[in-house]
Structure 1
Amino acid sequence: MTALNPLTVAVQMDPMDGINIAGDSTFHIMLAAAARGHILYHFLAPDLTYRDGRVLAKAHPVRVQKVAGDHYVFGEPEMLDLGRDVDVVWMRQDPPFDLSYITATHLLERVQAETLVVNDPASVRNAPEKLFVLDYARFMPPTMITRDLAEVKSFLTEHGEIVVKPLYGNAGNAVFHIGPSGANLSALVELFKASWVEPFMVQAFIPGVAQGDKRIVLVDGEVAGAVNRIPGAGEIRSNLAVGGSAAKTELTQTEQLICAALGPELKARGLLFVGIDVIGGQWLTEINVTSPTGIVSIDAFNGSDTGAMIWDAIDARLAARAAA
């Protein structure tokens, strides 16, 4: 499919040479854009510059193709005015969700009046994965956010087994399962307090994670599909980045209710591409808005085209802006 009016699209992401094109959602989106004839640029968050009221990015024009080891070709870098030279900016670099990430949201927010930024940078800033989800606590497992060891010990006594994880982690990094004995809990809390200035998250352990942690993708508030991520042997983490495997799945009735509750708010906030995580068919654990993944596996299992769905949603957003 070739667009009648090709868009100029600037993608703020991680380095192109380090991505795994077999499963990278950003690359999948870029391929879908290229199929429509859109003009693509690539830049890194440190390539942003604010000067005299304008937000600029030193970006490479890029051609993409689904060929491992030869998946992109850069042109000579150009200094783009992201408000005047570009129709769409994608904010797709991976966390950590730190001050550098937050600064990028502030800069990109300044071009929103002229250029569509996906996901909306102010909404990304105000919806960290493990904090935004607290608005939907009725769907969550018992949860605590704290730095207090005594509180964690009390929570463990109440629930028997717990999971401890950093508040701004990603890809399953530093996720720990603590059993009823509480062995090493004090040392773990000491480590978390020494490693991060913010509180950490503690949740009741859900045994159903052994059957998988479902990633459900929503595009502009509508369900695009889901994939079940099954932990490897001896693991509780199901993230594909740490050895989990993907399996075809359908939504449970409770998961449909969760999506119906979240969808309108995601759409209203300009969170066009979101991945939520649900354990055991009923327990919502995260709402991923920074750089969600999963669409490659979803499309492979379902024969769907989530990339096309995303670009259709962007076209609708641009048309609405033009008509306003």
Structure 2
Amino acid sequence: MKIAFFADPLDSFKIYKDSTYAMMAEAASRGHEIHAFEQRDMALDNGVVTALVARIHLTGEQDAWYRAESPVATPLSAFDAIVVRKDPPFDMEYIYATYLLETAESQGAKVFNKPEAIRSHNEKLSIARFAQFTAPTLVTSDSVRIRAFHALHGDIILKPLDGMGGAGIFHVREDGRNLGSIIETLTHHGRRTIMVQRYIPEIVDGDKRVLLIGGQVVPYCLARIPQGGEVRGNLAAGGRGEARPLTARDREIGETLAPVLSARGLLLVGLDVIGNHLTEVNVTSPTCFQEIRQQTGCNVAGLFIDALEKAAA
């Protein structure tokens, strides 16, 4: 197969932990052609969605890990699969990219995850579709409602709807210290909608990433454990990753969501689970492939390429 990865700049990859690199390496080991392009490389030209796409050869080296051929303007329909691995921010440029990819689909391209599905599943708000698994949650820009939620639950988490890697997350305890300032900052004085959740104390045991691939649940998760007094377990915020077998509750959540999300065009999903509660549904560029393989031997990238080969056939 000819596989094109829509990703961030390759020079930004840390290949010892990057899940997109793991996908590329697994695909290359099976004889598939690897190509890459960025958001800025796409264009709609005379009705055809094209991109400046470079063929990539993996070198096996740690630093200069790839060699790229000269980019060529190529219709996206010329590839057997387009793999979306662009990180947030999920801004209007990202939205425009999903429109272009959706147009490319109408011209014969096979895109994973489906751009319409990515656009329709906000990684924070999507938990509302599975409320049986969530902690008490409020989504609003109204400071009065946020204060009432805090008065009811006492210990809360506030976060933006478009963040990633733990950015912009605040923990407010029962004393309400700095609550007003935090509300003003996150909502831009009532102009932006945010999410507020009851604090889940099991975060000290880790924010678990449960992976769904091709409608199936990966048998291991990666618990991101907060360090140094942090409330955030995200690896980008300094959390320590510990691979674990799924608990019965993790598996229940995963097996409930997997067929639903797969049917909506989401080949790869990363669920965030704290304790017994679903907190996020990640659909843009879920990670943790390499940490799970290094600690358990489970070849997550192999499972993904298996699913990609089947879906693109």
TM-score bracket for the superposition, by shorter chain length = over 0.9
Q: Does 1:259 align with 2:239?
A: no
User: Which residue of 1 is the match for residue 173 of structure 2?
Assistant: 179
Q: Does 1:98 align with 2:84?
A: no
Answer with 57-66 or 262-271: which moved more.
Answer: 57-66
Name which of 137, 142, 162 aligns with 1:148. 142
Q: Secondary structure at the match of 1:277?
A: strand
> Is the CA contact 1:123–1:271 (under 8 Å) kept in the aligned structure 2?
yes
Q: Does 1:63 align with 2:57?
A: yes
Residue 181 of structure 1 deviates from its aligned partner by 1.0
Separation (CA, whole Å) in 1 of partners of 2:174 and 2:61: 49
Q: Does 1:241 align with 2:236?
A: yes
Normalization by structure 1: what TM-score?
0.93
Residue 195 of structure 1 deviates from its aligned partner by 8.6
Q: Structure 1 stretches (4+) deviating beyond 4 angstroms?
A: none
Question: In structure 2, what residue type is equivalent to 1:61?
Answer: R
Separation (CA, whole Å) in 2 of partners of 1:159 and 1:303: 41
Separation (CA, whole Å) in 1 of partners of 2:222 and 2:242: 6
> Is the CA contact 2:184–2:190 (under 8 Å) kept in the aligned structure 1?
no
> Is the CA contact 2:141–2:190 (under 8 Å) kept in the aligned structure 1?
no
Name which of 31, 35, 43 aligns with 2:29. 35
CA displacement 1:148-191 (0-9 Å, x = unmatched)? 11111111111111001000100100111001111111111111
Identity fraction in percent:
38
Q: Does 1:109 align with 2:102?
A: yes
> Is the CA contact 1:220–1:270 (under 8 Å) kept in the aligned structure 2?
no
User: Which residue of 2 is the match for residue 209 of structure 1?
Assistant: 203
User: Which residue of 2 is the match for residue 88 of structure 1?
Assistant: 81
Alpha carbons of 1:22 and 1:141: their partners in 2 closer, same or farther (altered >3 Å)? Answer: same
Q: Secondary structure at the match of 2:82?
A: strand
Separation (CA, whole Å) in 2 of partners of 1:96 and 1:229: 21
CA displacement 1:86-106 (0-9 Å, x = unmatched)? 111111110011111111111
Separation (CA, whole Å) in 1 of partners of 2:60 and 2:134: 38
Residue 132 of structure 1 deviates from its aligned partner by 1.4
Q: Does 1:126 align with 2:124?
A: no
User: Which residue of 1 is the match for residue 309 of structure 2?
Assistant: 315
Residue 68 of structure 1 deviates from its aligned partner by 2.0
Q: Secondary structure at the match of 2:5?
A: strand
Name which of 14, 19, 23 aligns with 1:20. 14
> Is the CA contact 1:21–1:66 (under 8 Å) kept in the aligned structure 2?
no
Separation (CA, whole Å) in 2 of partners of 1:27 and 1:41: 12
> Is the CA contact 1:141–1:284 (under 8 Å) kept in the aligned structure 2?
yes
Gaps of 5+ in 2: none
User: Which residue of 1 is the match for residue 2 of structure 2?
Assistant: 8
> Is the CA contact 1:227–1:249 (under 8 Å) kept in the aligned structure 2?
yes
Alpha carbons of 1:186 and 1:268: their partners in 2 closer, same or farther (altered >3 Å)? Answer: same
Alpha carbons of 1:269 and 1:66: their partners in 2 closer, same or farther (altered >3 Å)? Answer: farther
Separation (CA, whole Å) in 2 of partners of 1:112 and 1:74: 26
Normalization by structure 2: what TM-score?
0.96
Separation (CA, whole Å) in 1 of partners of 2:75 and 2:177: 55
Name which of 278, 294, 297 aligns with 1:303. 297
